[in-house]
Structure 1
C-alpha cells in the first residue's frame, strides 16, 4: 500500500510515551498498516517528544493554560489534525478529558488505553486504586472515547493476574501487555474504518 493510501494516526500523550513508541514501532515494522503522522502533548518537553523525534513524527506541544478554553485549544488541535489528514486518534497517557470539539469531529475515531479492567478503577492512578483495593487480577482496557471518564464502549481487554505488592513490578507487567494489546487493537480497528 502506498504511503499516501495508508491510514493516518495521531497519538496524544502527556508523559513518557511508551505506548506512543509501541504504536509507532508497529507502524514502522508493518504490524500496523498505517503511519503515525502527529504527536500531540499538553506537557511541552515531556519525554514523548524525544520518542516522536526518533520516529520523525511532528509534534504539537501546547499548554492548556495559554488558551481561554478547552474549545479554543481543541480547535487549534483540530486544525493540525485536519492538515495531517488524521483518520484515528489514539490517546496514550493523555491526561485530559477530550471535549466536544474533538469528539464531534472524530466521533467513533478516538480511542484510549486504560490500565484497569473497566469499568473498575476509572480515572487517574488506576493501578494505585486497584492495589489499594487488593485485587488479584489487574488488567488493561482499550475503549472508544466519549463524554464520560473512561466510560466509552470497550474494544479490547486483557487480564493480568498478580498477587504481589511491588508496584514497579506490576507496572512493568502492565506496560508490557499494553505494548502488545494496543498495536494489535489499532490494526484491527483500522481495518474497519
Structure 2
C-alpha cells in the first residue's frame, strides 16, 4: 500500500462521525490516518474520544481571535504543522471563510445529514418529515464556499416512515453516516474520487466494485415496501 494520507478532522461536538473515521483508520489496509482533531469548542465530547485513541487534539476558539479570518488562519497553521493532506469536517458547526476554503479546495470534505441538494443547513430531519419525502439520507461532499453545496462524493439513503419522529429518523440516518464517511474518505485518499473544475470525477473503479458502494446501502424497494424495510434493517 502506498503512503497513507494524513487527515485532520474538525469537530464542534460529540464527534461520532470523527470516531467512525478513527475506527476505520485503525485498520492496517485503510489508506488514511487521523493525525489530529481540532475543535472550536473546548467542551466538545469528541476531543475526549480522540485523546483516548492517542490522537493529538487542539482547541481553537473563535473567542480568542478578532476576526473569522484570523481564526481560520490559526486553524490553517495547525493543519500545515501536522502536514495534513485532507481535512474532514465532522459536525464542525462554523462556516469557514472563502480564503480558508480556497486553500483546501479539493482536499476538504464534509458529511451532511440529508440527500443534498435537499435540506441544506440545520434541522434537516425535521424538514424532511415536514416535506413528506419518503426517502432521506446523508451526503459526503467536497467543501466549497457555499454551505452544503460542494460536489457530491457519496450518498446513502434510508426510508422515511409515515409515523417517524425526528429522533427516530435521525438515528436511522446516523447509522448510515457512520458507514458512509469512511467509504468516502477511502475513495478520496486513494485518489479514486477527486474534484476538478467544480465537479466530482471518479476513476479507478472496477465494474461492480467500489462504484456500486457509494449510493445507497442497498437498492431501495418500491415505495409500499419502505416501511417494512426500515423495520427489518438493523
Secondary structure of the 1:159 match is strand
Match of 1:39 in 2: 37
Listed one character per residue, the Cα deviations across residues 19-58 of structure 1 (whole Å, up to 9, x for unaligned) are: 0000000001235321101111111111111111121111
Question: Pairwise CA RMSD of aligned residues?
Answer: 1.5
Instruction: Give the TM-score normalised by structure 2.
Output: 0.78
* Counterparts of 1:102 and 1:40, CA distance in 2: 15
* Counterparts of 1:30 and 1:119, CA distance in 2: 35
The 5 A counterparts of 1:22-171 are 22-30=20-28, 32-163=30-161, 164-171=163-170
Q: 2:12 aligns with which of 11, 14, 22?
A: 14
Cα contact 1:32–1:183 (8 A) shared by 2: no
* Counterparts of 2:28 and 2:137, CA distance in 1: 26
Instruction: Give the TM-score normalised by structure 1.
Output: 0.93
Q: Which moved more, 1:163-172 or 1:68-77?
A: 163-172
Secondary structure of the 1:146 match is coil
Count of residues in correspondence between the two structures: 191
Cα contact 1:103–1:146 (8 A) shared by 2: yes
Shift of 1:169: 2.0
Listed one character per residue, the Cα deviations across residues 62-118 of structure 1 (whole Å, up to 9, x for unaligned) are: 221221111101111111111111000111111111213321221111111001011
Secondary structure of the 2:157 match is strand
Q: Which has the higher contact order (CA 8 A, sep 6+)?
A: 1
* Counterparts of 2:34 and 2:90, CA distance in 1: 13
Shift of 1:162: 2.0
Unaligned runs of 5+ in 2: 195-234
Q: Which runs of 4+ in 1 moved over 4 A?
A: none
Unaligned runs of 5+ in 1: none
Cα contact 1:31–1:187 (8 A) shared by 2: no
